[in-house]
């Protein structure tokens, strides 16, 4: 085993020892960057983002809700202050599940607005979160009433728009659905209190625009059934509201179909539905024989036979025969003989009677109008036919109930999008993966830059050394050239000096040879002068 390990490590060791210092730094840096990026990616993929489900709960109720969540097999966190946090992707499901179980019972939740609104939120998002927070708070308060098992509040608060073309004057409305415990009923005071509570929670909400129903969809009023007109008005208003929601459902489906191709704000859809709320009662009766031959079981059977004779000539005097006999007759001598037979049979067959009462609604008519805003304002017949067919199939109507029109120029309105808090609406995991990749690239780039800049510095230093050496060599050569020139000048001077001495020597020799007595006299004089000195 040890030999195998050494055999595996030896090439790696040799490769590492063969590398230079800078190559070792680069290899270690790249490996470190890859490891850091891998750790960040794994952490991002395995990271579970928690979201506050409830806060401010009482200790007993917080422990009870925590036990319920743990019993569902979902990991939750219970912290101080009665705060319960759950995985973000499961928070909506848990909230709905716990609400159906009647939780929370004693505490109000104010986290919808605080957890979702930040400085990047649009005005539309703030209004919607505030509306949802108000709905949840009202439902939680109503649940505290005696006999109330569950409650749901829906607020319709129209957005106020004031433009040059039109001005919105819609009034806010509210609906409250109350599920009562078995054997409980709400008193007039409680119903009035619920209506007043909801009315006071929404600015501009009128009491007649508040609809309260129980779990069986029975309309509840503070004065029972005496206020029939108000009850009917509320029912009609509720029908109208349902019709609007019904139409908006189809409109949104068509927008989801067309907006990706034509762009946000370039598609306008109007759906008109004619809903019939009349109660329908239908009865179906089916008869089926009890025998294979199509007959039923005999219940009662009657048979009768009769016969007689009449005198041909001895009828009653003065009485005529009014009609011919309808039964078989015959003549026997002077008498007429007759006979008659009849039978009656009653059969039993299987009879199924089914009576159906429809108390909901059905659609009498549904029509769709679509306007597309394009650059040219023109659609080919083929394109228009394809769009008409697609819209008709999406809504479930025949094509002649769909109208598609193309216009140019108008229709574009500024749109808002819900931000996730990360660039390009990325999720948290994608954001961290991208950041890890960017960090790894930055690390690699830095070390490549350091390596390249180091090589550049080395080249510059080598060039400087070369230039210095070249300058020094030039200086040496110059000095050598100057020295050579000086030596040459000295040599020339020496030669010149030697030539002058030779000339003087030659002249002296010539003078001596020509005037020996004079030369002897001069020498004698010089000697005497030296002796005197």
168 and 162 in contact (C-beta within 8 Å)? yes
Between the CA of residue 483 and those of 84, 473, 474, what are the distances in Å?
97, 15, 14
Residue 62's closest CA among 90, 42, 81? 81
* 531: pLDDT strictly greater than 50: yes
Coil vs helix vs strand at 369: strand
* 232: pLDDT strictly greater than 80: no
Between the CA of residue 465 and those of 2, 58, 452, 453, 458, what are the distances in Å?
51, 80, 20, 18, 10
* Segment 445-471 mean pLDDT: 73
Residue 413's closest CA among 261, 521, 259? 259
| pLDDT higher at 411 or 447 | 447
Quote the pLDDT of residue 108: 53
Q: 44-107 belongs to which CATH class?
A: alpha beta
Quote the pLDDT of residue 417: 44
Quote the pLDDT of residue 102: 66
Quote the pLDDT of residue 176: 92
pLDDT per position as a tens digit, 37-68: 877 777 766 667 788 877 777 888 888 888 88
Q: How does residue 143 score in pLDDT terms, banded at 50, 70 and 90?
A: confident
* 182: pLDDT strictly greater than 60: yes
* 164: pLDDT strictly greater than 60: no
| Beta bridge mates, 372 | 267, 406
Q: How far apart are CA 192 and CA 200, in angstroms?
A: 12
* Segment 476-501 mean pLDDT: 71
Q: How does residue 36 score in pLDDT terms, banded at 50, 70 and 90?
A: confident
Task: Name the DSSP letter for residue 104.
Answer: -
Quote the pLDDT of residue 413: 44
* 198: pLDDT strictly greater than 50: yes
DSSP string, 291-336: STTS--EEEEEEEEEEEEEEESS-PPTT----S--SS-EEEETTEE
Q: How far apart are CA 356 and CA 348, in angstroms?
A: 25
Quote the pLDDT of residue 269: 92
Residue 49's closest CA among 420, 425, 428? 428
Domain assignments of the chain as residue spans, ordered by start: 44-107, 281-312+327-355, 453-518
pLDDT per position as a tens digit, 99-133: 667 677 665 555 555 565 566 667 777 778 788 88
| Listed range (231-240, 321-330, 482-491) with the worst mean pLDDT | 321-330
Between the CA of residue 373 and those of 148, 259, 377, what are the distances in Å?
51, 11, 7
């Amino acid at each position: 085993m040890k030999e195998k390990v050494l055999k595996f490590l030896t090439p790696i060791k040799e490769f590492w020892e063969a590398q230079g210092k800078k190559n070792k730094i680069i290899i270690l840096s790249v490996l470190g960057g890859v490891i850091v990026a891998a750790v960040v990616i794994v952490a991002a993929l395995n990271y579970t983002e928690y979201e506050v489900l409830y806060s401010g709960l009482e200790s007993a109720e917080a422990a009870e809700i925590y036990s319920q969540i743990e019993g569902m097999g979902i990991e939750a966190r219970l912290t101080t202050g009665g705060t319960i946090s759950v995985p973000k992707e499961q928070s909506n499901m848990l909230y709905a599940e716990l609400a159906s179980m009647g939780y929370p019972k004693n505490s109000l939740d104010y986290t919808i607005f605080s957890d979702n609104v930040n400085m990047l939120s649009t005005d539309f998002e703030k209004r919607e979160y505030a509306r949802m927070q108000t709905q949840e708070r009202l439902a939680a308060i109503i649940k505290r009433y005696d006999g109330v098992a569950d409650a749901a509040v829906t607020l319709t608060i129209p957005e106020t728009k004031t433009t040059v073309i039109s001005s919105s004057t819609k009034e806010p409305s509210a609906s409250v659905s109350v599920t009562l415990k078995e054997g409980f009923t709400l008193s007039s005071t409680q119903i009035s209190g619920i209506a007043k509570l909801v009315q006071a929670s929404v600015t501009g909400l009128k009491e007649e625009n508040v609809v309260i129903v129980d779990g069986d969809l029975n309309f509840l009023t503070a004065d029972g059934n005496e206020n029939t007109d108000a009850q009917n008005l509320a029912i009609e208003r509720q029908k109208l509201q349902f019709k609007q929601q019904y139409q908006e459902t189809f409109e949104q489906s068509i927008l989801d179909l067309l907006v990706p191709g034509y762009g946000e704000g370039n598609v306008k859809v109007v759906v008109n539905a004619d809903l019939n709320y009349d109660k329908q009662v239908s009865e179906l009766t089916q008869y089926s024989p009890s025998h294979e031959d199509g007959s039923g079981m005999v219940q009662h059977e009657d048979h009768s036979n009769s016969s007689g004779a009449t005198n041909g000539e001895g009828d009653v005097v003065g009485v005529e025969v009014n009609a011919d006999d309808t039964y078989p007759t015959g003549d026997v001598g002077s008498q007429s003989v007759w006979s008659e037979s009849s039978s009656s049979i009653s059969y039993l067959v299987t009879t199924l009677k089914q009576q159906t009462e429809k108390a909901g609604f059905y659609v009498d008519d549904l029509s769709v109008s679509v306007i597309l805003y394009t650059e040219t304002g023109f659609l080919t017949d083929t394109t228009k036919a394809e769009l008409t067919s697609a819209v008709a199939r999406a809504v479930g109507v025949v094509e002649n109930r769909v109208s598609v029109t193309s216009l140019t120029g108008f229709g574009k309105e500024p749109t808002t999008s819900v931000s996730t808090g990360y660039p390009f609406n990325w999720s948290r995991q994608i954001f961290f993966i991208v950041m890890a990749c960017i960090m790894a690239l930055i690390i690699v780039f830095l070390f490549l830059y350091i390596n390249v800049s180091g090589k550049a510095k080395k080249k510059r230093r080598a060039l400087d050394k070369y230039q210095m050496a070249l300058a020094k060599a030039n200086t040496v050569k110059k000095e050598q050239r100057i020295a050579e020139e000086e030596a040459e000048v000295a040599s020339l001077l020496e030669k010149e000096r030697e030539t002058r001495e030779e000339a003087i020597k030659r002249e002296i020799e010539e003078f001596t040879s020509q005037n020996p007595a004079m030369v002897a006299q001069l020498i004698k004089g010089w000697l005497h002068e030296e002796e005197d000195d």
